[in-house]
Amino acid sequence: MFSIPGLKVVSLTDAAAARIREIMAQSAGDEPALGLRVGVKKGGCAGMEYTFEVARAAGKGDEIVTEKDATVIVDAKAVLFLLGTELDFKTDRFSSTFVFNNPNQVSACGCGESVEIIPQAEPTLAAH
């Protein structure tokens, strides 16, 4: 698991935590859901897209964040892209959506579906 003391990979607003809890409650089935998996993939006009899926288990290297009784599993390949991100949930007159307040995001396309993200560099340990 990747971590920097005092910095979470992802933090949740109250609205995001509430929506994640709702999704998990609706996903109850034979196999309980562990949390909401978030990640990034190549795609869209800006280069990358955020992804979501209900996760039944964590994979090797995934970062598990539990806040406000809600669990997010950050895909291992997305950790450096999402480091320091606040996940929010917004509802307006016409839509409801998760919003990534990502300090690593440098631009987004006009449609709002894809983003350009510069990953954080992995910290190196100084030789003693």
CATH code (residue 91): 2.60.300.12
Tally of CB atoms within 10 A around 74? 29
Whether the full predicted model's pTM is greater than 0.85, yes or no, is no
Q: Distances from the Cα of 96 to the Cαs of 16, 19, 68, in angstroms?
A: 11, 10, 20
Which band of pLDDT confidence, cut at 50, 70 and 90, is reported for residue 127?
very low
Domain annotation covers residue 126: no
The number of folded domains in the chain is 1
Residue 125 sits at φ, ψ, to 5 deg, of: -90, 130
Instruction: Specify the higher pLDDT residue, 128 or 50.
Output: 50
Domain annotation covers residue 4: no
> Which tokens belong to 44?
């869209």
Residue range of the domain that includes 26: 10-117
Domain annotation covers residue 122: no
Predicted confidence (pLDDT) per residue in 64-120, tens digit: 999 999 999 999 998 888 888 999 999 988 888 888 888 877 755 555 555 555 566
CB 37 within 8 A of CB 52: yes
Domain annotation covers residue 1: no
